[in-house]
Structure 1
C-alpha cells in the first residue's frame, strides 16, 4: 500500500473509531495497529507522530 493511502485510511479509521463502540472498536483497533505497523516498516517512523 502506498504511504498516502495508508495515511488516509488511518485517518478515516481514527474518525470511525471515535464514533463506534464495542466489537466495532476492537476491529477498528486491529486495523489501525496493522496500518501503524505497515507505515513503520516502510518509513521507520510512527504514523501517530506524523499526522
Structure 2
C-alpha cells in the first residue's frame, strides 16, 4: 500500500487511480487531470 496524501501529482498520468480507494487529501493536480479522476466516479466533464 502507498500514500499520496499531500503529493504534487501535476502532469502525472492518473488513469487507473480510483479516487474511492485512494486518499487524495491535499493532492495537487492540473485542471485537465480532473477529467481522469471524475471518470472513475462515472462523471463526464463537458467543456464550458
TM-score of the aligned structures, taking structure 1 as reference length: 0.31
| Larger helix fraction of residues | 1
Q: Which has the higher contact order (CA 8 A, sep 6+)?
A: 2
TM-score of the aligned structures, taking structure 2 as reference length: 0.32
